[in-house]
Structure 1
């Protein structure tokens, strides 16, 4: 009997210890609209987050629509990070209505935003505000520190971790900024031609001028293309930069008419740091 009571007491003590041990929450599920934001959240959130991107590689933010499976997966998420790319205008309200407890944070919050090139860019929200802030690594650095505070609201016990992660990532962004400045130093030309005007923040940061084929979210017609051909011939620009999410037909037609070439640069690439370096190198090569 005594042995039985002793065993029962030991079992009760062990159970009490288990119940008293705090249960550690698993990683927070976060959805983001585009791959660069996934990179941002993973850098700041670290092991405390599990991130899924709505617009995947090769998909266009202008035409993307989340399907039923994605909408169902949003039930597991506590945070959605957005930035004003086109599909958000139609879908953010629907997502919020279907998931009222989901926190939605705009990564552009408290950042200095520029006007979208070509007044009134019809495909982007917030009037003519350019959503592509992430192409400037120093603005991305600001967003990282803002994100640390947002994640800390969801996981207060991890605040110090998020702040430290943001500081480490910030130093990496400073290094990339310096690398880009070195790559772009001493260029003979400072204009570069793009199809879709995604690189305005990058251009502003590094003393460049982005010239876009697309105007107000629309491709030029026959007259517009003829005018562009004349402008390109006069400017001496021989490289047309395109992104993989959009049709390259008009760009290739322009290149053929002007003796130029088409080069792909991707503002939506996940590998953020290397992608910015590679983009700077391509622009530098075109502008020597």
Structure 2
């Protein structure tokens, strides 16, 4: 079966209409269905596209895209979709397997490629670029708006208007985050999972070390000991975990070092308090950073 694959490379490092959230099912007023792998991208798509597109997420709330194993239900959920938007860079490669099972072939937009992340973003294989709102504003949103316009040329003006509006909200979000993080008394932290490099680089924070490089894989006892020494030697006061991953290791390190444990959420979800949109999710995490580092 032929699959049409459009790979969108991120060329640079560095969209919220009230009431618009990813929808679990296609609305009767929607002309096409678009599916993305993770909630933040779904919310961005929803705000760009407006009411003429039904948007849904494949990854259920609380699941990690790194360890997710899709079921037949996920295959069914994209069978009628015109477009699949995945992050790429190894984060959600399972979505491409789902796309292989669709008939007729589905258009795929991959927001990153491993080669481009390595050569242009200099962050290795880290695919968590959506946690930098300026990358979302300047790169992700225009790319998605372009693809939506290709699918719905008659909605070009509406999509462009939505894009302009949402980019303004992202600018305000960036300014808000910058004003808060500039005042932090501490700037160093340890992460359970390497999701926050883009955010840290944008706002002049320092991720000193990462506990586990591959979610779902247990680090060695020797590595955990090194992490504990790093926390103590660098006077790191905050350890960040995530609700999609086990807290056990982070709790152990916090207990043995005296550092405090905080839980950031890189994914959010429409039913989660304070995390029901991309903008709300970023402000939710900003408040966690503020409590930990200020």
| 3-state SS of paired residue (1:88) | coil
CA contact 1:61–1:86 (8 Å) conserved in 2: no
CA contact 1:114–1:201 (8 Å) conserved in 2: no
CA contact 2:75–2:98 (8 Å) conserved in 1: no
Which residue number corresponds to residue 136 of structure 1? 132
| Structure 2 gap ranges (5+) | 1-27, 270-276
**Counterparts in 2 of 1:67 and 1:113: CA distance versus 1, 3 Å:** farther
* Structure 2 residue 282 is matched with structure 1 residue 276: yes
- Distance, in Å, in 2 between the alignment partners of 1:113 and 1:100 is 35
Q: CA offset at residue 89 of structure 1?
A: 2.2
Counterpart selection for 2:291 from 276, 285, 288:
285
Provide TM-score, normalisation by structure 2. 0.80
- Residue correspondence of structure 1 range 1-288 to structure 2 within 5 A: 26-84=30-88, 86=90, 88-108=92-112, 114-116=121-123, 128-141=124-137, 142-210=139-207, 211-215=209-213, 218-270=217-269, 271-288=277-294
**Counterparts in 2 of 1:207 and 1:107: CA distance versus 1, 3 Å:** same
CA contact 2:133–2:174 (8 Å) conserved in 1: yes
Q: CA offset at residue 92 of structure 1?
A: 0.3
Give the number of the structure whose residues are more often helix, by fraction.
Answer: 1
- Distance, in Å, in 2 between the alignment partners of 1:187 and 1:69 is 45
Moved >4 Å (runs of 4+): 109-113
CA contact 2:239–2:250 (8 Å) conserved in 1: yes
Q: CA offset at residue 237 of structure 1?
A: 1.5
CA contact 1:74–1:99 (8 Å) conserved in 2: no
**Counterparts in 2 of 1:145 and 1:233: CA distance versus 1, 3 Å:** same
Larger radius of gyration, structure 1 or 2? 1
**Counterparts in 2 of 1:203 and 1:220: CA distance versus 1, 3 Å:** same
Q: CA offset at residue 285 of structure 1?
A: 2.9
- Distance, in Å, in 2 between the alignment partners of 1:135 and 1:104 is 22
| Structure 1 gap ranges (5+) | 1-23, 117-127
CA contact 1:108–1:143 (8 Å) conserved in 2: no
- Distance, in Å, in 1 between the alignment partners of 2:87 and 2:246 is 23
- Distance, in Å, in 1 between the alignment partners of 2:221 and 2:232 is 17
| 3-state SS of paired residue (1:225) | helix
**Counterparts in 2 of 1:221 and 1:73: CA distance versus 1, 3 Å:** same
CA contact 1:35–1:55 (8 Å) conserved in 2: yes
Provide TM-score, normalisation by structure 1. 0.81
- Distance, in Å, in 2 between the alignment partners of 1:263 and 1:256 is 13
Q: CA offset at residue 278 of structure 1?
A: 2.5
- Distance, in Å, in 2 between the alignment partners of 1:27 and 1:192 is 46
Q: CA offset at residue 74 of structure 1?
A: 1.4
Post-superposition Cα deviations, 1:189-241, rounded to whole Å, max 9, x if no partner, equal 32221100101111111111223111355442111111111111122222211
- Distance, in Å, in 2 between the alignment partners of 1:105 and 1:202 is 23
